[in-house]
Structure 1
């Protein structure tokens, strides 16, 4: 090869014989060390079902790199399972793990002078963490997700209205069990049948949202995001991704050539169209930061409103990723909204988005992927709210909120933590018309901004999802539905207005008009003061609390001056 690649900076000449000797100790040959060294970042583990497939995928990626004239070197990173960390203190570590993963990528790449990257990950914080790290080091990069699980089937009494279910129904069914709406036998059946295969969650949670957005950004090959984990096509696209990264290395197309303002805006539009996770707001703001792109929460809200909700996947409908895959996936959707997109952006194929859509843009089922003139909902899948309760913004998901609850007024019932709220809900202390307030769960207050997933699922299971609104400075899962608002900024820890709410305060949430207001004089309340509920922490969470930025800034940890 007649081009210069950076691994050779520490590989050529007698002064670098020590590096070659160490590679040779691991079994590499002289001929392999003269080729581009491609890092295969593998988030495989045996705990998380979304990552169980990655070991086999990594082998196919490496075969692709070898076939295209490169030398693959595999290394690992952590991968927390949101579902297993849910509703206990472990959830405090999940969002912070995103930054740890990004740091892992940066450290390994820079210490070993790698020439390109293939990122292998499946679940909620792993996918953005890998992408953040790749953007920092700005190498030729291809992202490959592990793929969604196949759904379970439940035709009778399915709360989503179709035939498919996924693991999120189990948490929701705890509320139904608690309130006597299902039997223990029915509950046990769900536990054993809701998740029939490995893979990321079968519905449109954060994992599959971010896989779709990686493809929309241009970092994944067309069609990659929605291929089920257990399909042979998953192995084929892994091989093709190994080929693709070598093409990027030869053309010197780097991560920040692909991820720029145009592609970020495209991804936000796709998120609106699929009704993606509210966590996408955090992750896209963080991606913009690491890509050196000026793009804030108000920009997100503005761009999100350009595209209505077009794909009714659980929790905002009855379809699952399998349906989306069979209909044509992300590129078929992007072809439906192409009039709203920037088409001249380069992608990891080495071609523009416009060229990719010509080849991969066929919509095979316009009931699943609707055209712009026949949306599921006329509003965007994601909404940014402002008001005296959230002067820096808050996030909601109109596509997952029943229409009757889009304009909600109720009286506050205050909980100082997630665990307090769970106890109160299980004790049946919440009634129709209440606004459940869970505070001290932001990035710094939690710390770690844990998801208030289970609290909302319990309320939905108790048939209160459209009769109660839950608001918090914490987050929600991509699988949540019902009336909810998260990411309220500033958070309670940072002396935000939510800290000064009291039981009985009247709160208005107007989803369609982007408003969240309390009938409170917060200036007077600040003068009166409020009890401090700061929780002491140690270890990584101590470092995280004192380093992380507001959720309105993507909860990033600054990596440059």
Structure 2
């Protein structure tokens, strides 16, 4: 075991003494030392449950013959950081978490890891860290919140609602479609419990994909935060990691090209977040797998949309869990998956799936009876995005899959929000929000609120929003993000002008502008003054394009 390299003999007595100062015994120090990475805090509702879960993880580790060693990392809430400068720090936080894990594991020669997180960038940050240090690891999430219930006038068409309806309803309030009293009711009832947001946003998407890759125990991703099974999952995850240490099964044994492709197909099947593109490309990088944005696009087309969860349908993670969750959808799509890869159970995916079934085909469709024949994510190219752009067909109304309109330019998110609230955007417009990429933002802030305001104004399919920034997993309507190169890197989006004609064809994978960009480059274009300092200064100088996963390189 790695830990024993600095634990045996008189020359390492100082290390033993320091552990003993914390109350550890000789017997405990001879066992596998398992890092328990806890992203608990009081701010993020998706992480409140992690304090109690960590206790159960430690008990599982002890029961299996290991010694748990807890340490913390950050866990910022996208929802609270939304639509202000705080959102610039959310994606950079992913790299912070990976660095925290690397630092603690390597400084203390730990033997294994259990990673506890729930929300958007925390989950991929933990997976990146585990892949980088490559010691036996199990990820366990805190679980989704229970949804709110609203049977009348439900915009999603079912009986459940979630946090994202609040932002959407601001547009409805602004346009007079609902009253202040109705809006206040939504604020107080849309999120009735702790947990990650109840719809299929980035948080729950990445928890599902961690399970699909084999980094989390089967059937654990969708267990609600407030259910007793969540604590059982914590115990079992702690127990499982000790077995992985004994068998020497490491993250890069689990995560390879086959499992990455499996996860991308599952993302299409469940209608997962566009942010999965960033995170899966980054995961591929840390897994030492050569995988491009176009590989993602090709793989995403290989599975149809099987589960219509909010924002792409009426169902929530609660419905998905009750129907069987990730194993049930993977069992329905076995014909397009690799089944022979090892998972964190020590067994293959095929062996794991034998114990599960689809309990509700209204929620999880059979692969020969999909919700949509197209997949959940599409990669677009064209003269406006020569290095690629990302959209989500499963969340775009069919009538808006092909859209042509005139550009209405906003230089940043706040200008766009002000313009939309001032009713300066009209049916048929293409809203352009630029200077929002990984370097231009910096931090690639989500343009979530602008899209939600438009949906609330009943313009979601009548206006298209395009940006070099990104969107939330909860967005729906007509939108295209991750346009590369970004404006900061002299991409074509920098040279768009008000009134330019822009065409998007989601099904053909095209985004074009009727613009001679070479001529525009010769004429030049001004850039807004957007100086930064602190961490964002370093992030801007080092981060790669979103078409490369917005990674910060960690090796030559």
Deviations 1:449-497 (A, max 9, x none): 0000000000000000000000000000000000000000000000000
Matched, 1:511 2:513: no
Matched, 1:255 2:259: no
1:84-483 to structure 2, matched below 5 A, reads: 84-360=80-356, 362-483=357-478
Cα offset for 1:157?
0.5
Write the distance in 2 (CA, Å) between the matches of 1:6 and 1:249. Answer: 10
* Paired residue secondary structure (2:406): strand
- Contact kept in structure 2, 1:440 and 1:534, CA below 8 Å: no
Gaps of 5+ in 2: none
The corresponding residue for 2:537 is: 542
The corresponding residue for 2:48 is: 52
- Contact kept in structure 2, 1:493 and 1:534, CA below 8 Å: no
Cα offset for 1:534?
4.2
- Contact kept in structure 2, 1:445 and 1:534, CA below 8 Å: no
* Paired residue secondary structure (1:487): coil
Write the distance in 2 (CA, Å) between the matches of 1:533 and 1:164. Answer: 42
The corresponding residue for 1:25 is: 21
Cα offset for 1:500?
0.3
Write the distance in 2 (CA, Å) between the matches of 1:507 and 1:204. Answer: 29
- Contact kept in structure 2, 1:152 and 1:194, CA below 8 Å: yes
Write the distance in 2 (CA, Å) between the matches of 1:521 and 1:331. Answer: 49
* Paired residue secondary structure (2:459): coil
Matched, 1:552 2:508: no
The corresponding residue for 2:73 is: 77
Say what the alpha-carbon RMSD is for the aligned residues: 0.4
The corresponding residue for 2:2 is: 6
Equivalent of 2:30 in 31, 34, 48: 34
Deviations 1:262-304 (A, max 9, x none): 0000000000000000000000000000000001100000000
Write the distance in 1 (CA, Å) between the matches of 2:242 and 2:319. Answer: 32
Cα offset for 1:516?
0.3
Deviations 1:117-137 (A, max 9, x none): 000000000000000000000
* Paired residue secondary structure (1:50): coil
Write the distance in 2 (CA, Å) between the matches of 1:139 and 1:367. Answer: 40
Write the distance in 2 (CA, Å) between the matches of 1:372 and 1:31. Answer: 52
Gaps of 5+ in 1: none
Write the distance in 1 (CA, Å) between the matches of 2:361 and 2:458. Answer: 32
Matched, 1:529 2:551: no
Deviations 1:512-555 (A, max 9, x none): 11000000011111111101224000000000000000000000
Matched, 1:43 2:39: yes
Write the distance in 2 (CA, Å) between the matches of 1:419 and 1:43. Answer: 30
* Paired residue secondary structure (2:354): helix
* Paired residue secondary structure (1:170): helix
Write the distance in 2 (CA, Å) between the matches of 1:344 and 1:533. Answer: 52
Deviations 1:190-217 (A, max 9, x none): 0000000000000000000000000000
Cα offset for 1:358?
1.0
Instruction: Give runs of ≥4 in structure 1 deviating > 2 Å.
Output: none
* Paired residue secondary structure (2:355): helix
Normalized against structure 2, the TM-score is what?
1.00
* Paired residue secondary structure (1:364): coil
- Contact kept in structure 2, 1:48 and 1:79, CA below 8 Å: yes
The corresponding residue for 1:65 is: 61
- Contact kept in structure 2, 1:151 and 1:164, CA below 8 Å: yes
Cα offset for 1:359?
1.6
